[in-house]
């Protein structure tokens, strides 16, 4: 059996051996998956990501498959809703979480489906909403651990 060495045209990684007749332009599975597309942010998405991260500082911010920022939580996720008003939205699929979110003053019902719920809220309500959906915060290093880490690197 004859094998061929092929190179992905996007990431330039070699896939070897390739047993079938190689195509003229080979694209590997990683480059065609959604995770590869999330790595490339448009300038608009980069600005939105930076602004969102600054607004919600202590919380961990990730990018979804389209490259837009969100705060992950165990019971839902927090996203940008309106950049001009600094309005955020929370999405959850849990009916118990929905009941707890409705009780928070300042939350506005935006969309409700049979098993999906989305609410809007202002930045001032963020800590209460984050507690309800159990949003993840960034891990911060204490002064002593930071000093040890710097000494270890040097």
pLDDT in tens, 47-65: 888 889 898 988 989 888 7
Average pLDDT over residues 110-133: 91
Mean pLDDT of the chain: 79
pTM for the whole thing? 0.66
d(CA 111, CA 95) in angstroms, rounded, equals 13
For 20-142, where are the E strands, in sequence order? Answer: 62-63, 69-72, 77-82, 87-92, 108-112, 117-122
Range with lowest mean pLDDT among 13-17, 31-35, 132-136 = 31-35
Find residue 72's DSSP bridge partners: 77
Where exactly does CATH 3.90.1150 map onto the chain? 41-133
d(CA 79, CA 63) in angstroms, rounded, equals 10
CA angle, 103 then 83 then 99, to 5°: 15
Rounded to the nearest 10°, the torsion over CA 52, 55, 58, 60 is: -10
Domain 41-133 carries which CATH code?
Answer: 3.90.1150
């Amino acid at each position: 059996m004859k094998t061929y060495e092929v190179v992905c045209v996007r990431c330039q990684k070699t896939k070897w051996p390739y047993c079938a007749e190689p195509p003229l332009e080979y694209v590997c599975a990683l480059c065609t998956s959604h995770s590869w597309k999330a790595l490339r942010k448009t300038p608009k998405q980069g600005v939105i990501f930076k602004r969102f991260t600054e607004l919600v500082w202590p919380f961990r911010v990730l990018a979804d498959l389209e490259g837009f920022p969100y705060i992950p939580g165990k019971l839902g996720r927090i996203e940008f809703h309106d950049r001009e008003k600094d309005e955020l939205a929370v999405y959850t699929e849990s009916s118990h979480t929905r009941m707890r979110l409705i009780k928070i003053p300042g939350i506005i019902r935006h969309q409700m489906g049979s098993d999906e719920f989305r609410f809007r809220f202002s930045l001032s309500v963020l800590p209460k909403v984050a507690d309800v959906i159990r949003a993840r915060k960034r891990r911060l290093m204490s002064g002593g651990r930071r000093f040890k880490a710097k000494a270890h690197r040097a």
